[in-house]
Structure 1
Amino acid sequence: MHKVNFANLDLNLLRVLHCLLDEKHVSKAADRLHLSQPAVSRALARLRESLNDPLLVRTAQGYALSARAESMQLELAEVLRSIDRMIAKPVFDPATDRGVIKMTGLDLELALYVPQLVQRMRRLAPFMHLETVRQELDSFSMLDKDDVQLSLSGLEPVTSGGSFHRVKLDTMPVVCLMDENHPLTRSEMTAEAYANAPHGLVSITGRGPGSMDQVLEDVGLQREVVLRLSGFMSVADYCEGTDLVFTLPLRLAQRISAGRRLKMLPLPSALQRDPVAFYIYWHARHHHDPRLTWVRSQLLDITQELPRL
């Protein structure tokens, strides 16, 4: 049996072959393919050589298919349809989609935006599933391993930065959160008074300094962190009725202090820096995924509707 060298077989030749087998005529196939007759004749010659078969055989009534061409005709049509389906742009309809989205982020960061996302999904994409996954020490490694498809974070990736895409969801200033009767509430807070207060810190890793420690170092000051928490949800319980100060992004502080005996104060002017930015990150492998594109657009719409700070 003649062995076909598929490495030398152009996919475009298969489309020409399909048309030739349908039309059984070189000129008609050329018209249908919007090609010149010589081009189709050359393609037929290459096909005959590659397949070691005449394919089209001249008869008194015109051209007829060879036995092999007849056996190939139906199967070739299905192969080409399969190829078209494979390379076609994915069709996404949120109203019928049953996909699963996995997202990670810190507890309160997710709580600021994801409930509104779920409300939209229940209305616009009722069959889609959303799973929030507990954040590991490095959410970017979770994206890299495809454990999650989206990560909400205010951090920058340490490695594999070129593999990630992001879009800014929100920005907000940093404020101080403390008990409503904290001594710092009684007068204008100075940088020195802030540094001398006992501090609480939300830390994913449980080790290392916070961003405010670098800010204080820049102005020759230092603070003492006496409490580290791994998440934001319990901050109010540790802040209320104590002398601890937590330094948090404004929307998180607003959410934590709602209904509690807490007070928010701006940072002393000497310690104020650029607003904190929150991003939604995703891996390059999902950059063109229509489902994730839709979810990201919903999150952007949600943050656009938030009160400006």
Structure 2
Amino acid sequence: MNISDLGKLDLNLLVALEALIEERSVSRAAERLFVTQSAMSKTLGRLRELFDDPLFVRRGSGMIPTPRAEQLALRLPGVLQAVQAMVQPLEFDPMAYDGEMNLLVQGHMGAWFVPPLVRLLRERAPLMRINTISGDEAPFEKLAEGSLDLVFQIERLSYPDDLELTTLGVAEPVLLARKEHPLVGRKIGPEELLAYPLVSLLSTDIAGMRFYEGASSELLEIQRQHTPQYNTDDLQTALEILRTTDCLFPAPPMFATQFDLDRHVVALPVVGMEELSIRYVAVRHRRVQGSPVHDFVYALVLELVESFRATLGLPTLHALREERGLAY
């Protein structure tokens, strides 16, 4: 039988053949499979046609297998077990899983949840390997093709329909500057921002971010048009530029305390900035829905986020979604 002939094969025929081989009786095989004797007789006819062999010959009240049927009897259990294993849900044992996951974790997000994620994995999936990057030019295409497994980022303006998003948190962005910056202590409007260069992480593209909640359109427009003068994919480089120059650095509110910058950096009170909010999201492709390993890592990240929010006295993610009427 060549590969094109497999289309003619009915799996039920192999199940019936196993029953016939073990029972050596059409009537008993029919009872075992809860079909009529007539239906089993027709099935035997189809089996004889499929294998071009009588398969069984009568002997008294029963049947004896032909040499061809005896050969099939040796291979049939393994075939049926293999098929059964294919259709059963994949078993996943985190403690024994020896594989890797490729994550995109945008900018500063990696600093607060990748280290605790690694600690959790050492306890629950010690053989799993995690590879992280902070940015990519085509992350959604790589999610679709499988070279990226999960993405954690500030929500973008748009996403392909085949991606699933989960909110990880909401924050009001701030504009950081060194404590000796000329703007410190002044009332700052959107136009003052244009006088100073921006430093930006390559993984944090302001122009592509989605902002929420009655944001000042003027401030947003200026921020999106004010192209960063210094771009880097290295967080430490960005922080050193911030500490030693008059550059401004758009960042989330917890950024300064997270990286112990309070001694060197302040958040500037920009008019309209308090109206803005950004949303952190986890992103995965629909093709990995039901994948045990993806579900496992996804759940671990959500567990870490819930723990982090509880430490800060913030509501649970479910409560956050309910409070703000979020769809995801």
TM-score bracket for the superposition, by shorter chain length: 0.7 to 0.9
3-state SS, counterpart of residue 202 of structure 1? strand
1:178 pairs with 2:168 = no
Normalising by structure 1, report the TM-score. 0.84
Match of 1:93 in 2: 93
Q: How do residues 1-309 of structure 1 correspond to structure 2 at under 5 angstroms?
A: 5-133=5-133, 135-156=135-156, 161-187=160-186, 189-192=187-190, 194-204=192-202, 209=207, 218=218, 222=222, 227-231=229-233, 232-258=235-261, 260-268=263-271, 270-306=272-308, 307=312, 308=314
Does structure 2 conserve the Cα–Cα contact (< 8 Å) formed by 1:136 and 1:142?
no
In the alignment, the residues of structure 1 paired with residue 58 and residue 109 of structure 2 have an alpha-carbon distance, to the nearest angstrom, of 74
Tell me the CA shift for residue 155 of structure 1: 4.2
Give the CA deviation at 1:5: 4.2
Q: Distance in 1 between matches of 2:183 and 2:164?
A: 41
Secondary structure of 1:91 counterpart: coil
TM-score of the superposition, structure 2-length normalised? 0.80
Structure 2 residue runs of 5 or longer lacking an equivalent are: 316-328
Deviation of residue 241 (structure 1)?
A: 4.3
Q: Give CA-to-partner distance per residue, 1:185-235, whole Å, 9 cap, x none.
A: 325x3424653551424152899957599x776369747556322233333
Bigger CA drift: 111-120 or 291-300? 111-120
SS for the counterpart of 2:141 is helix
Q: Which moved more, 1:50-59 or 1:229-238?
A: 229-238
Judging changes above 3 Å, is the alpha-carbon distance between structure 1 residues 210 and 241 closer, same or farther for their aligned structure 2 residues? farther
Distance in 2 between the 1:220 and 1:153 partners?
19
Whole-angstrom distance in 1 between the partners of 2:147 and 2:101: 10
Q: 1:194 to 1:287 in 2, by over 3 A?
A: farther
| CA RMSD of superposed structures (Å) | 3.3
Aligned-partner SS, 2:202: coil
Report if aligned partners of 2:216, 2:276 keep a CA contact under 8 Å in 1. no
Q: 1:225/1:260 Cα in 2 relative to 1: closer, same or farther (>3 Å)?
A: farther
Deviation at 1:21, TM superposition (A): 0.8
Q: Residues 92 and 152 (structure 1 numbering): CA distance in 2 closer, same or farther, change over 3 Å?
A: same
Q: What letter is aligned with 1:296?
A: Y
Compute the displacement of 1:291 (Å): 0.7
Query: How many angstroms does 1:90 deviate by?
Result: 0.8
- Shift in Å, 1:104: 1.9
Unaligned runs of 5+ in 1: none
- What secondary structure, in the 3-state scheme, does the structure 2 residue paired with 1:250 have? coil
Matched residues, number: 305
Q: CA deviation at 1:65?
A: 1.0
The structural deviation recorded for 1:109 is 2.1
Q: Deviations over 1:47-99 (max 9, x none)?
A: 12222222222112521112211111111111111112222211001111111
Checking the alignment, whether the CA contact within 8 Å between 2:144 and 2:287 is kept in structure 1 is no
The percent of aligned pairs where both chains have the same amino acid is 25
Spell out, residue by residue over 1:110-137, the C-alpha distance to the aligned partner (whole angstroms, 9 max, x if none): 1221111111001111111111136332
SS of the aligned residue for 2:246 comes to coil
Deviation track 1:229-257 (CA, whole Å, cap 9, x = no partner) reads 22333333122243332221223343245
SS in 2 for 1:234: helix
Secondary structure of the 1:104 match is strand
- What is the CA-CA distance between 1:144 and the residue it aligns to? 3.4
Sort the Cα spacing of 1:76 and 1:91 in 2 relative to 1 into closer, same or farther, 3 A: same
